[in-house]
Amino acid sequence: MKLSLGPLPYFWDRETVMDFYHRLVDTPVDIVYLGEVICAKRRALRPEDWLELADTLRAGGKEVVLSTLALIEAESELSALRRVCENGQFRVEANDMAAVNMLTGAAPFVAGPHINTYNAATLELLAECGAFRWVMPVEQGREVLEALQQGRPADMQTEVFVFGRLPLAFSARCFTARAHNLPKDQCEFRCGDYPDGMPLATREQQDFLTLNGIQVQSAGTCNLVRELPVLAELGVSVVRVSPQSRHMSAIIDVFARVVDGRLQPEVAAHALEAYTQGGPCDGYWHGGAGMSWRGQPEPRAYPASAGSGKADTGADR
């Protein structure tokens, strides 16, 4: 079983992004997904910058995959999507059906977690289009995975999201801009003020969601480290952790040691507590409310997440 790092969901400045990925060269992650998935307005990095990072990571022994936008809203975004799909150097993670259509018959691709892959017939269709790996949508759980693993095409790899804030929904509206009373077209890139998203609490002061531009994420951090042995038994090929602004190298190291058998999952779960934003959650995996933890029927209240500030990708603290 391999370990992957999903695409960066947040808007960081160019220097921070470049530093973040250069540090990954020396980490035990096997696969790195690169590119902008959330908002086409986020252009801190040029296409050439992403390709430069891809070359650096590949030279460091990583498998590199370029990820596409999850929500296409304009003709210009289709043109950018086409450039990614036709890059000719790296495989692509398709996060909507426009990308699947462009990649069909052209190159093997990864069907990302934002594709609604809920049954074996969809897996078969994606395989016919050229998908060699699919990422299970985060709202699915163990029972669904077991069924799909039994019905998946023989050569199809399976990847499961195991750590990070859950990507829940996308909208044409920018929630972060609206929270600052700004129109989307004049957002002033306020999402850049929140290196791990903008926390949203209920009136009872429970962490509820995280706003990330046009994306809504979970408030808590999905943590399936205890389930890695089960995922291996189910034939999962890749487990994915999602980037956050701090402690990323330590998180990758913990998961890598569990994957290769050097660390027990229960010990790893305790180690990850120090790196978990907004408290842990695993409800979807168990067939319950996504924000619940280890089968608890009601969400727990946690201290509010950090507010604005610059992403810190330096030494783990």
CA distance 41 to 302: 32
CA distance 92 to 64: 9
Average pLDDT over residues 140-152: 96
- Check whether 7 has a pLDDT greater than 80: yes
Average pLDDT over residues 165-170: 97
Average pLDDT over residues 151-165: 96
CA distance 178 to 182: 5
Average pLDDT over residues 281-301: 78
- Check whether 169 has a pLDDT greater than 70: yes
Residues ≥6 apart with Cβ < 8 Å to 127 = 152, 153, 155, 156
**pLDDT (tens digit, 9 = 90+) per residue, 171-218?**
999 999 999 999 999 999 999 999 999 999 999 998 999 999 999 999
Identify the band that residue 148 occupies on the pLDDT scale cut at 50, 70 and 90: very high
Q: What is the DSSP string of the chain?
A: -EEEEPPP-S---HHHHHHHHHHHTTS---EEEES--S-TT--SS-HHHHHHHHHHHHHTT-EEEEE--S---SHHHHHHHHHHHT-SSSEEEE-SHHHHHHHTTTS-EEE-TTS---SHHHHHHHHHHTEEEEE--TT--HHHHHHHHHHS-TT-EEEEEEEEEEEEEE-SS-HHHHHTT--GGG-TTGGGG-TT-EEEE-TT--EEEEEETTEEEEEEEEE-GGGHHHHHHTT--EEEE---SSSHHHHHHHHHHHHTTSS-HHHHHHHHGGG-TT-EE-TTTTTS-TT-STT-SSPPP-PPPP-S-----SS--
- Determine contact, residues 228/259, Cβ cutoff 8 Å: yes
Q: Across the chain, what does the average pLDDT equal?
A: 93
CA distance 249 to 238: 18
The C-alpha R_g of the chain, in whole angstroms, comes to 18
Burial string for 214-235 (b: 16+ CB within 10 Å, else e) reads bbbbbbbbbbbbbbbeebeebe
**pLDDT (tens digit, 9 = 90+) per residue, 55-108?**
999 999 999 999 999 999 999 999 999 999 999 999 999 999 999 999 999 999
- Check whether 38 has a pLDDT greater than 60: yes
| pLDDT value of position 311 | 54
- Check whether 296 has a pLDDT greater than 80: no
- Check whether 43 has a pLDDT greater than 70: yes
- Check whether 299 has a pLDDT greater than 90: no
| Residue ranges of domains in the chain | 2-165+221-277
Class of residue 29 by CB neighbours under 10 A (exposed 0-12, middle 13-18, buried 19+) = buried
Domain topology for 2-165+221-277: TIM Barrel (3.20.20)
| pLDDT value of position 316 | 46
Average pLDDT over residues 112-116: 97
pTM: 0.92
Residues ≥6 apart with Cβ < 8 Å to 46 = none
| pLDDT value of position 294 | 82
- Determine contact, residues 151/120, Cβ cutoff 8 Å: yes
